[in-house]
């Protein structure tokens, strides 16, 4: 039985449009830009500010320890010094179910919520943050489970036990095609019943103004919703662009050639192999007792392997299903291109930061060569090329954007591209996806990323990026180390801006927790 399903890209787009009443007449008449917001904290005019970045956090306690809470506690000393928190997606595992928000989000981050002293009284769709908490959607925030599974898990104890490695955080519901996330974080206008109430809501909360019109006012401690699944805001002279990468990560179709057919056969063979691996690990898991601490550690290790197998399987299925040109969210990509150009033509803007879930460049073992990773890289590269071509000499020796933040890979990593031959050259990338879900190892192939390029003269392979920092799972058995992480980023004055990156790491080793001190670095 297939336990995880993902809505198609057109469904994701349409459902999210309905939830925010995209381009509703009352919104259009008021000249409201549904992709912009202003953080009304009285501090956004300072050119020096700080923010926190976490991602892939939304997991619950594992056999008596709670990694996500360990990271949250490391965040607390920075809370009064930082201006907001960026979350790079996968807010809730495994399938974004609303029932897991209390344990997997509200409880771990209770100090960041109004009323957090009594987190059990906070409804997931009524959260108000005392420090801006600004997320993007992860793939798990869109996932669902089949109706048959919901029925079986509710009635068949034997099946629940057999599938316990997945059932830890699946529950009886899925995300309802991203609805739980939307109710938790977006300004869910679809829930407003009457036209009169909608008008009052818009006139109350869409009172800020930017160059593109009226927009939502984000007020910490009072009203803390974001306007859309992708959005932008300006802070301290820096433009931030939050993207929904789940709608432009579809792999390109395999070529209709002998090489493409060979690739298809290899993918099908690999799919059969991982199915066999899955059965073997399931059998081993069923022999272990989670109430025995030593066996619980083994079970967690096997569960981590099954997590990886699932992700590889989903990526293979997407490649095998790509018979025609993939559906791509051109509306969002065109929006990004237009807004980047506008940002460059705005004199008060001194830098640009993008954050999204899927990393364009990464060396984590399960993500670096996934088709989805390459799809994100190529789609963003195309946008950057268009922006650079439009701006011409205006960019001079600067990059189109100054920093790209992402998650999805369960690690903390800093990479920088070299001369790729495109407008994504010499870009800084930080992956902050190690904030709660099982950390992953770095690939064995090393820290240099190579890419194969094909043109009319044939194929060639060259280096496109270097990894300078990687914090992830290491060791085996009793020497296994599980580091969970996030970063604080201090934005310095000046144009172009400098970013001082300060990692914070809580590491589990020999059933104990330790705080790792990593040296800050400037990019």
pLDDT band at 14 (very low <50, low <70, confident <90, very high): very high
pLDDT of 183 strictly over 70:
yes
Q: Is the dihedral of CA 341, 347, 348, 352 positive or negative?
A: positive
Residue 75 phi, psi (nearest 5): -75, -30
Structure tokens at 188: 């869910």
CATH 3.40.1260.10 fits 9-252+326-522, yes or no: no
Q: What is the pLDDT of residues 325-374, one digit of tens each?
A: 678 999 999 999 999 999 999 999 999 999 999 999 999 999 999 999 99
Quote the Cα angle for 146-150-153, to 5°: 130
DSSP E strand stretches across 157-257:
208-210, 213-218, 231-235, 238-242
Q: How many Å apart are CA 214 and CA 204, to the nearest integer?
A: 12
pLDDT band at 160 (very low <50, low <70, confident <90, very high): very low
- 298, 249, 231: which is closest to 62 by C-alpha? 298
Give residue 266's pLDDT: 79
- 110, 49, 54: which is closest to 83 by C-alpha? 49
Helix axes 293-320, 258-286, angle to 10 degrees: 160
Q: What is the pLDDT of residues 213-254, one digit of tens each?
A: 999 999 999 999 999 999 999 999 999 999 999 999 998 776
What are the boundaries of each domain within the chain?
9-252+326-522, 258-320
Judging by DSSP bridges, how do beta strands 458-471 and 481-491 pair with one another? unpaired
pLDDT band at 151 (very low <50, low <70, confident <90, very high): very low
User: Which of 54-58, 131-135, 181-185, 297-301 is predicted least confidently?
Assistant: 297-301
Q: How many Å apart are CA 251 and CA 425, to the nearest integer?
A: 22
């Amino acid at each position: 039985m297939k336990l995880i399903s993902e809505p198609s890209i057109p469904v994701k787009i349409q459902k999210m449009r309905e939830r925010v009443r995209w381009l509703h007449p009352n919104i259009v008449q008021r000249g409201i830009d549904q992709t912009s917001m202003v953080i009304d904290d009285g501090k956004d005019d300072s050119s020096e500010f700080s923010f926190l970045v976490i991602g892939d956090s939304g997991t619950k306690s594992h056999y008596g320890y709670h990694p996500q809470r360990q990271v949250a506690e490391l965040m607390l000393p920075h809370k009064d010094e930082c201006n907001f928190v960026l979350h790079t997606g996968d807010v809730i595992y495994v399938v974004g179910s609303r029932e897991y928000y209390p344990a997997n989000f509200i409880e771990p981050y209770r100090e960041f919520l109004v009323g957090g002293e009594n987190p059990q009284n906070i409804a997931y769709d009524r959260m108000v943050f005392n420090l801006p908490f600004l997320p993007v959607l992860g793939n798990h925030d869109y996932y669902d489970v089949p109706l048959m599974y919901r029925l079986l898990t509710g009635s068949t104890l034997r099946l629940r036990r057999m599938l316990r490695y997945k059932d830890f955080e699946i529950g009886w519901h899925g995300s309802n095609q991203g609805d739980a996330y939307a109710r938790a974080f977006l300004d869910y206008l679809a829930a407003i019943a009457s036209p009169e109430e909608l008008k009052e809501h818009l006139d109350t909360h869409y009172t800020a103004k930017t160059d593109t019109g009226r927009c939502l006012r984000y007020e910490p401690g009072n009203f803390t919703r974001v306007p859309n699944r992708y959005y932008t805001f300006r802070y301290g002279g820096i433009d931030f662009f939050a993207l929904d990468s789940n709608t432009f990560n579809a792999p390109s179709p395999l070529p209709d050639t002998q090489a493409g057919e060979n690739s298809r056969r290899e993918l099908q063979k690999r799919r059969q192999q991982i199915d066999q691996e899955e059965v073997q690990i399931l059998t081993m898991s069923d022999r272990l007792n989670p109430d025995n601490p030593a066996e619980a550690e083994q079970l967690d290790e096997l569960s981590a392997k099954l997590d990886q197998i699932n992700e590889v399987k989903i990526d293979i299925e997407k490649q095998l299903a790509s018979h025609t040109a993939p559906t791509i969210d051109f509306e969002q990509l065109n929006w990004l291109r237009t807004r980047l150009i506008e940002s460059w033509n705005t004199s008060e803007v001194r830098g640009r930061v993008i954050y999204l879930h899927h990393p364009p460049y990464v060396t984590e073992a399960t993500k670096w060569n996934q088709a989805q990773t390459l799809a994100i890289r190529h789609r963003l590269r195309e946008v950057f090329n268009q922006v650079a071509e439009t701006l011409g000499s205006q960019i001079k020796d600067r990059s189109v954007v100054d920093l790209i933040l992402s998650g999805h890979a369960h690690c903390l990593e800093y990479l920088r591209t070299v001369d790729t031959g495109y407008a994504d050259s010499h870009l800084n990338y930080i992956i902050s996806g190690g904030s709660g879900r099982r950390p992953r190892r770095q690939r064995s192939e090393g820290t240099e990323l190579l890419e194969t390029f094909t043109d009319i003269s044939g194929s060639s392979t060259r280096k496109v990026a270097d990894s300078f920092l990687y914090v992830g799972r290491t060791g085996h058995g009793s020497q296994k180390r599980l580091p969970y992480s996030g970063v604080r980023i201090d934005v310095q004055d000046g144009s172009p801006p400098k970013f001082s990156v300060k990692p914070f790491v809580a590491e589990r080793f020999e059933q104990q927790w330790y705080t790792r001190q990593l040296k800050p670095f400037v990019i």
